Amino acid sequence: MVYILLAPGFEEAEALVPADLLRRAGIETALVGVLGVFAPGGHGIAVKVDCAMTQVKLDQADMIVLPGGGMGVHNLESEYAVEKLVRQAAERDIWLAAICAAPTLLGKWGLLQGKKAVCYPGMEDKLTGALVQKDQGVVTDGKIITGRAAGSAFDFGLALVETLAGKEAADKVRGGIHY
């Protein structure tokens, strides 16, 4: 199961494009409401979530995904339950993925130490401990995948598919959407 955490103000493309691509690949994916049944995106698109934070089961998790969006990342950071979940996932060696401003949370929580990572341009100084990869759209290092910004959403989502289901599955999804 892939859990994509949605806090108010999340960047819609960075959450919904990966969710769509994962589901096209047949990977069970849940949109998780950090603060309620509906998650309002940063551009006024409200999304009805599949489950609440309290329903996330780490023993069933293959990956936790943190989308960006300035206010969304602020709201993710404001909820201690998010940090606790992400830290527990890291301890259990569950894949972590974050895009745009969200990789800065992984840095703040000490999860990027010595790892290659990318984030929204201009926020690189907040990737605490990371080996910043400014010219990359998506970077995988160990069990962490980071993406640059909304413009990287398709590449990010396809990287998640490839990680969990293999290159053939990612290529099939890529072909199916004519990307």
| Cα–Cα distance, 72 to 162 (Å, whole number) | 26
Q: Which helix (H) or strand (E) covers residue 144, if one does?
A: strand 144-147
Listed as own residue / partner, the contacts of 118-121 with beta carbons closer than 8 Å and 24 or more positions apart are 118/146, 118/147, 118/148, 119/146, 119/148, 120/68, 120/148, 120/149, 121/148, 121/149
Structure tokens at 116: 């290659």
Catalytic residue among 100, 127, 139, 164: 100
Structure tokens at 41: 């995106």
Residue 100 among the catalytic residues: yes
| Cα–Cα distance, 67 to 170 (Å, whole number) | 20
What is the C-alpha R_g of the chain?
Answer: 15
Structure tokens at 42: 């940063």
The catalytic site residues sit at 100
